[in-house]
């Protein structure tokens, strides 16, 4: 039933998105068709803005892990050799080609596009693709903070600068549960990914940003909301540990760096009373909201994307942590300097 519901949601949303894109101005999209939540997928619905601005109002991120991994590796290899191939352009091209449906993905299609780029410009190849600009902006919003240049031990590198939400050497499991049914408070689809891990497992900041939400929420329990520096991505970490949910010193407005320990896995939530373990199984709820206009931040038009393929990719870059025996706090073992 969960799979059928998820498939129906995706197919319905895709038809609406492409129909709207054909009628509206470039980069416009349809209003989200599933109920959205405030401060994360485990919150109650909020009001919607009636302002009809020209910004993206729907994104369905169906890029498969295999497509993500290949595009990323091609991007990294190109930069190592002095090129400027963009994994976002590769995926946007395929998104436009497939109508956003990566069930149609073929590795050979990406190879063919890369080969075309050797003799033609991106504009020449994509000029006749009606929805390329839309997918390029949408996928850029999802992926922009995950790949780039950084320094480690004084050595310049290029690669993944986004980190897995779970620290290195700590086991976790999970499946693609985006769209699954949730009933606490009201019936709604699950708009995130549950990463099953033991209580006390260190939670890691995926991307650098500003702590925008902190504290108790009856749906998400102890939770953290971090906004990327470009304001496009809002990362949501929920159901954190009872009593000591956060890393020492974490507070609203604090700047955190990708790879930092920000909190600890637990099973809090589903209670109007603070600090209650009403979640049956310990896990991290991890979500990603895209924000193209501030009116989308807390509204019925919130855009939450399926992060499961991203967590698969980010598992290649887990933050190594060390434990302070005296304070029992975990901190990152190695720091990196991310270039702007």
Mapping DSSP to helix (H, G, I), strand (E, B) and coil, where does residue 136 land? Answer: helix
pLDDT for res 11? 44
User: Model's pTM, two decimal places?
Assistant: 0.86
Q: Tokens standing for 208?
A: 């650098």
**Residue 21 pLDDT:** 38
Phi and psi for 184 in degrees, rounded to 5? Answer: -65, 125
Instruction: Name the pLDDT band for 57 (thresholds 50, 70, 90).
Output: very high
Name the average pLDDT for the chain: 88
Sign of torsion over alpha carbons 141, 183, 262, 164: negative
Mean per-residue pLDDT, 50-77: 91
Give the angle 323-247-221 at the CA atoms, nearest 5°. 125
- In percent, the amount of the chain with pLDDT more than 70 equals 85
Is the CB of residue 145 less than 8 Å from the CB of residue 228?
yes
Return the ∠ at Cα 59 (arms to 56 and 65), rounded to 5°: 145
Domain boundaries, position 272: 181-338
Per-residue pLDDT at 51 = 53
Task: Count other C-beta atoms under 10 Å from residue 187's C-beta.
Answer: 9
Tally the domains of the chain: 1
Q: Give the pLDDT confidence score for residue 296 in this predicted structure.
A: 94
Q: Is residue 260 included in any domain, yes or no?
A: yes
The pLDDT assigned to 50 comes to 41
Tokens coding 108: 């050979």
139-165 pLDDT per residue, tens: 999 999 999 999 988 889 999 999 999
Number of H helices, E strands in the chain: 7, 16
Burial class (CB in 10 A: 0-12, 13-18, 19+), 52: exposed
- pLDDT tens digit sequence for 237-281: 999 999 999 999 999 999 999 999 999 999 999 999 999 999 999
The reply to whether 211 falls in a domain is yes
Tell me if 251 is assigned to some domain.
yes
Whether pLDDT at 332 is above 60? yes
pLDDT at 72 over 70: yes
Over the stretch 174-218, which tens digit does the pLDDT of each residue have?
999 999 999 999 999 999 999 999 999 999 999 999 999 999 999
Q: Round to whole Å and give the CA distance between 190 and 166.
A: 20
User: In terms of pLDDT, which residue wins out, 20 or 99?
Assistant: 99
Beta strands 202-204 and 261-264, pairing class:
antiparallel
Quick one: pLDDT at residue 339?
A: 82
Length of the chain, in residues: 340
> SS3 of 152, please?
strand
Q: Does residue 6 surpass a pLDDT of 90?
A: no
Judge whether 54 lies within some domain. Answer: no
CA gap 313, 15 in Å, rounded: 28
Tell me if 298 is assigned to some domain.
yes
Q: Cβ neighbours of residue 83 under 8 Å, at least 6 residues apart?
A: none
**CA 130, CA 305: separation in Å to the nearest integer?**
23
Q: Copy the structure tokens of residue 30.
A: 């349809």
In this structure, is residue 7 part of a structural domain? no
**d(C-alpha 203, C-alpha 256), whole Å:** 13
Task: At 310, list the tokens.
Answer: 């991203």
Q: What percent of the chain has a predicted confidence (pLDDT) above 90?
A: 79
- pLDDT band at 43; cut points 50, 70, 90: very low
* Cα(49)–Cα(304) distance, integer angstroms: 17
Query: Which whole-number Å values give the CA distances from 194 to 212, 213, 289, in the listed order?
Result: 21, 19, 15
Mean pLDDT of 312-340: 94
- Please report whether residue 191 resides in a domain: yes
Residue 137 clears pLDDT 50, i.e. is over it: yes
Of 177, 192, 186, 214, the closest CA to residue 41 belongs to 192
What distance in Å separates the CA atoms of residue 201 and residue 171, rounded to the nearest whole number?
9
> What is the Cβ-side half-sphere exposure of residue 288, based on CA atoms within 13 angstroms?
25
CATH of residue 228: 2.70.70.10
Note whether residue 273 is domain-resident: yes
């Amino acid at each position: 039933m969960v799979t059928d519901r998820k498939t129906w949601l995706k197919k319905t949303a895709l038809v609406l998105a492409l129909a709207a894109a054909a009628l509206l101005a470039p980069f416009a999209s349809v209003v989200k068709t599933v109920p959205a939540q405030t401060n994360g997928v485990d919150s109650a619905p909020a009001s919607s803005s009636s302002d009809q601005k020209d910004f993206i109002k729907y994104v369905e991120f169906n890029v498969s892990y295999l497509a993500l991994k290949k595009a990323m590796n091609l991007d990294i290899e190109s930069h190592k050799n002095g090129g400027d191939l963009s994994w976002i352009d590769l995926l946007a091209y395929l998104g436009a080609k497939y109508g956003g449906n990566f069930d149609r993905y073929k590795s050979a299609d990406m190879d063919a596009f890369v080969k075309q780029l050797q003799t033609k410009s991106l504009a020449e190849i994509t000029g006749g693709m009606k929805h390329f600009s839309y997918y390029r902006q949408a996928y850029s919003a999802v992926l922009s903070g995950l790949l780039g240049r950084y320094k480690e031990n004084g050595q310049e590198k290029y690669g993944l600068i986004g980190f897995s939400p779970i620290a290195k050497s700590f086991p976790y499991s999970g499946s693609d549960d985006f769209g699954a049914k949730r009933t606490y408070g009201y019936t709604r689809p699950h708009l995130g990914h549950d990463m099953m891990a033991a209580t006390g497992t260190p939670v890691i900041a995926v991307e650098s940003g500003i702590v925008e939400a902190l504290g108790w929420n009856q749906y998400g329990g102890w939770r953290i909301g971090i906004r990327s520096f470009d304001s496009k991505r809002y990362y949501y970490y929920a159901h954190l540990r009872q009593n000591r949910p956060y890393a020492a010193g974490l507070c609203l407005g604090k700047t955190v760096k990708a790879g930092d320990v920000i909190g600890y896995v637990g099973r809090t939530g589903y209670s109007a009373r603070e600090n209650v373990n009403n979640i049956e199984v310990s896990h991290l709820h991890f979500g990603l909201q895209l924000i193209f206009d501030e009116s989308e931040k807390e509204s019925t038009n919130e855009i939450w994307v399926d992060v499961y393929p991203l967590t698969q990719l980010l598992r290649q870059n887990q933050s190594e942590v060390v434990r302070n025996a005296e304070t029992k706090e975990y901190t990152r073992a190695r720091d990196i300097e991310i270039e702007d």
